[in-house]
Amino acid sequence: MRALYLTHPQVRMDAAVPVPLWGLSAEGRARAEVFVARNIVPKGAFIFSSRETKALELAELVAAAAGTPVLADHLMGENDRSATGFLPPVLFEEMADRFFAQPEESAEGWERAMDAQARIVGTVATALASVPPDIPAIFCGHGAVGTLLKCHYGHRRISREEDQSRIGVAGGGNGFVFDRRTGQLLSDWTPMEEIVLNWFA
């Protein structure tokens, strides 16, 4: 059985609000609603999520379509960027480049990419151990740790070139699928609008 890792789509950015508390923007929520309205979320699927608001909002919609609860874990959260707090987009992109380019170093106090990768890989493995082998699983999360997870399953080096912003659509709302049994990466970042039911076969 396969598993899908899905990133939250567009968010409401607010410098006065801690980033983990940002929710989906009107555009992001609309995309998520269209995704679940396509009836491709398998009934009974296990839905896992980061505890960050934007991921939880996506997960709640997906879980409603699956008819199952959201199983949230803070260890599925985005890379820890609290050392710098909110950064304007240009500065954020520069820091993200450093994060991926130097995975064994901390960029201005950010969680190191190698540590974030070990965290997300281990947490996803623990979550999947609780899922019956014939039940699909969907993870609702974030772009950076999702990229690190994809690099792990794809046996690829950590690189910004593997990021959803380089391969999927801008603003998030992309997914990739992997084989739960073999750990094989079965797709690259794909916009949620292009994910189809047979991905879960």
Domain positions in the chain are 2-194
| Residues in the chain where the model's pLDDT stays below 70 | none
Question: What's residue 197's pLDDT?
Answer: 81
**Residue 96 buriedness (CB in 10 A; 0-12 / 13-18 / 19+):** buried
Query: Are 56 and 50 a contacting pair, CB within 8 Å?
Result: yes
Helical H segments across the chain, by residue range: 26-37, 53-66, 89-101, 113-128, 143-153, 164-167
Question: What's residue 198's pLDDT?
Answer: 82
Q: What residue type is 85 in one-letter code? A: G
Model confidence over 14-38: pLDDT tens digits?
Answer: 999 999 999 999 999 999 999 999 9
107 to 1, 74, 116, 152: CA distances (angstroms): 37, 22, 13, 21
Question: Which among 160, 146, 152 has a CA at the least distance from the CA of 185?
Answer: 152
The pTM (predicted TM-score) of the whole model is 0.96
Question: What's residue 1's pLDDT?
Answer: 83
CATH T-level assignment (fold) for domain 2-194: Rossmann fold (3.40.50)
Question: What's residue 58's pLDDT?
Answer: 98
